[in-house]
Amino acid sequence: MFDFIIAGVQAPIFLLVLTGMTVGMVGGFIGVGGGYMVTPALIVFGFPGYMASGIDVTHIAGKSVVATIRHRQLGNIDWVLGLAMVGGTMMGVEMGVRLLNYTKSIGLSGIALLTGSVGIMIGLFLYTQIETHRAQKKIQELSREGKTVGRELSTSNIPKFFQSISLFPIIRCHVARIVISMWVVVLVGIATGTLAGFFGVGGGFIRVPALVYMVGATTHIAVGTDLLEIVVSGGYGALRHFASGNVDIIAVFFMIIGAMFGAQFGSIATSFVRGPAIRYILSYSLILATVGAFLRLVYMLSAQKYEFLNFFAVVFTLGEMIFLCLFILSLVYFAVRHRHGKWVPAWIPSLVVVQ
Amino acid sequence: MAGPSKTKGTIKFVVWTAIAAALISYLWIEYYNGTLVSWYYYKAKSDGWAVNANAFKDAGKDKPAILQIGSFDKIEGLQAVPVKKGDRLPANTNGIIDKKTVDEGKRVALDGNTLKVTVPMQVKEAKGFKFKDTFKHKGIQTSEWGGAWCVGFILVLGFALGMMAEGFTDMCGLKLTKIKHYEGVH
């Protein structure tokens, strides 16, 4: 047990490092900060709620730097796209926080937050699942026809609509190979930032699908570019939390040490898979987080009568981290086997790359 | 793209490991010499009494803690220092019992030159989670410059660790090359 003088709690270092590592792996792979997983974990370890949020956001900023460096090496970052989006995201976060304060002032925040997050997550989960399933089927068909299938395949036509809006200024994102109005990118930033600010999360789980399905980036580039965004938005969030006295820097330090290993593995693991594999894991993380949020919603709506609902919500959220890590590990394991011509389950070849 | 040479990778790994180690050592020293703690417990955000909440965590209605009021430079045990909003806090402070709480008299009561604490902790709830609400961190204003320094430090540490890891894989000869996003049908 380590005595965290600032937070005023005693917690095991091992658990903090492990949490940083697991969330780092998932975050490096699907491009999210993982706030919805870390905050409950820290509360379970004994940190007060406000400290848990502050430590979480600050560790996300540091971890995203680690993951961004690796994604830069893998060529997964479009700097033009990321920097064009940052301004909109920051504006959106501020709007989201104000919206949250408004709902609080009319006594709605807890339920509004949970209902909103459950609705949006289910919507995103369903769309991502259906689209990714279609993409996977198309990859299988193309492979049967003997064609070389690329790393990315998306069946969504929505990006074509957004890219056709020719509102000045137009930006050229060379890495993502997108020519798009800057206003579209800024508006996507504002929309995703507002949701992030309202829900009090980094917003990666909304921004990655938005970058893929609205802007038209490949999943790998969406992941890398989103992590770059999280460095900026997470850094700003960390500043606000520090100013509010919500951060114990030593707790952040231990989590970053774990995240360094996890984020490396998660980022490098993206080079073994195709875009749909990342989207699948992103959608599973969404639905698992939704179940946790839904259990908490029922708990709150039932006037906090059924304590077991809250308990299961925490168990579910913590279990999700382990499940997603195992999923990523198994994908990499099968990708390596596939590269060496060994047997793999039938669903694997369409999700991984041979070289 | 060919992978970088092992020699370059080794140099990169050694340099960034040294930088990361220096940063971590610096953080450790600043934490234990009290600098970071004093930045956190910096000023009073409200009028009241600066206390160390750990000293009376076991108090109760049947066993109240009696805090001696005085102008101490360092709070040791059951002591309280009167502070006004914006005052620098005495060493070892970890919370403020504000005037409003004392005036209400439900948790703490003023009794001559002493404060009588009867309810040091309440169970509250946030985002569906129950937590123990104590006087710890209450009424504390963190140093803004200290906060900015900490965020800057975390980002620099992340950068150093990221570069160190990149140097490590280069040193091991793992050829991490740029992903070809647009090869084949897409």
- The whole-angstrom separation of Cα B186 and Cα B176 is 22
- Distance in Å, alpha carbon of B75 to nearest chain A alpha carbon: 15
Structure confidence at residue A179 (pLDDT) = 92
> Could you report the per-residue pLDDT of A209-226, keeping only the tens digit for each?
999 999 999 999 999 999
A264 touches chain B (CB under 8 A): yes
- The whole-angstrom separation of Cα B117 and Cα B57 is 10
Q: Which of B92, B124, B151, B163 to mutate to test the interface with A (most CBs of A within 10 A)?
A: B151
Contact between chains at A147 and B184 (C-beta distance less than 8 A) = yes
> Closest residue of A to B93, CA-based?
A6
Contact between chains at A66 and B24 (C-beta distance less than 8 A) = no
Mean pLDDT along residues A34-43: 80
Structure confidence at residue B130 (pLDDT) = 64
Model confidence at A60: pLDDT above 80: yes
At residue A154, what are phi and psi to the nearest 5 degrees?
Answer: -125, 140
Q: Which of B16, B23, B127, B132 to mutate to test the interface with A (most CBs of A within 10 A)?
A: B127
Rounded to 5°, angle at Cα A28 from A24 and A34: 55
Structure confidence at residue A70 (pLDDT) = 93
Q: In the CATH hierarchy, which top-level class contains the domain B43-141?
A: mainly beta
> Closest residue of A to B34, CA-based?
A5
**CB-based contact B163:A345 (threshold 8 Å):** no
Buried b (16+ CB within 10 A) or exposed e, A270-305: bbbbbbbbbbbbbbbbbbbbbbbbbbbbebbeeeee
> Could you report the per-residue pLDDT of B76-128, keeping only the tens digit for each?
989 999 999 999 999 889 899 999 999 988 899 998 899 999 998 887 766 55
Model confidence at B47: pLDDT above 90: yes
Structure confidence at residue A44 (pLDDT) = 79
pLDDT above 90: percentage of residues in chain B: 55
A267 touches chain B (CB under 8 A): no
Domain-wise residue ranges, chain B: 6-35+145-171, 43-141
Restricting to A residues 280-299, those with a Cβ less than 8 Å away from any Cβ of B are 296, 299
Restricting to B residues 61-90, those with a Cβ less than 8 Å away from any Cβ of A are none
B48 or B130, greater pLDDT: B48
- The whole-angstrom separation of Cα B62 and Cα A39 is 36
Q: Which of B36, B45, B185 to mutate to test the interface with A (most CBs of A within 10 A)?
A: B185
Structure confidence at residue B1 (pLDDT) = 44
Q: At a CB cut-off of 8 Å and minimum separation 6, what does A123 contact?
A: none
A with B: how many residue pairs have Cβ under 8 Å apart?
170
Structure confidence at residue A23 (pLDDT) = 92
**CB-based contact B97:B80 (threshold 8 Å):** yes
Contact between chains at B148 and A153 (C-beta distance less than 8 A) = no
Name the residue among B24, B40, B185 with its Cβ closest to that of A245. Answer: B40
Q: At a CB cut-off of 8 Å and minimum separation 6, what does A205 contact?
A: A30, A32, A36, A121, A124, A282, A285, A286, A289
> Could you report the per-residue pLDDT of A152-201, keeping only the tens digit for each?
888 888 999 999 998 889 999 999 899 999 999 999 999 888 887 777 66
- Distance in Å, alpha carbon of A113 to nearest chain B alpha carbon: 9
Q: At a CB cut-off of 8 Å and minimum separation 6, what does B142 contact?
A: A242, A243, A244, A245, B39, B40, B42
- The whole-angstrom separation of Cα B25 and Cα B32 is 11
A63 touches chain B (CB under 8 A): yes
How many Cβ atoms sit within 10 Å of the Cβ of residue A113?
Answer: 22
Chain B partners within 8 Å of A221 (Cβ)? 181
Restricting to A residues 205-234, those with a Cβ less than 8 Å away from any Cβ of B are 218, 220-221, 231
**CB-based contact A235:A36 (threshold 8 Å):** no
Contact between chains at B129 and A49 (C-beta distance less than 8 A) = yes
Contact between chains at A8 and B161 (C-beta distance less than 8 A) = no
Confidence of residue B49 (pLDDT cuts 50, 70, 90): very high
B91 touches chain A (CB under 8 A): no
- Distance in Å, alpha carbon of A288 to nearest chain B alpha carbon: 17
The three-state DSSP-derived secondary structure of chain A is CEEECCCCEEECHHHHHHHHHHHHHHHHHHCCCCHHHHHHHHHHCCCCHHHHHHHHHHHHHHHHHHHHHHHHHCCCCCHHHHHHHHHHHHHHHHHHHHHHHHHHHCCCHHHHHHHHHHHHHHHHHHHHHHHHHHHHHHHHHHHHCCCCECCCCCCCCHHHHHHCCCCCCEEEECCCCEEEEHHHHHHHHHHHHHHHHHHCCCCHHHHHHHHHHHHCCCHHHHHHHHHHHHHHHHHHHHHHHHHCCCCCHHHHHHHHHHHHHHHHHHHHHHHHECHHHHHHHHHHHHHHHHHHHHHHHHHHHCCCCCHHHHHHHHHHHHHHHHHHHHHHHHHHHHHHHHHCCCCCCCCCCCCECCC
Residue whose C-alpha is closest to residue A334's, from A307, A315, A353, A316: A353
> Could you report the per-residue pLDDT of A295-336, keeping only the tens digit for each?
877 776 776 677 788 788 778 877 888 899 999 999 999 999
Distances (CA, A) of A224 to A32, A72, A82, A185, A271: 10, 7, 9, 16, 12
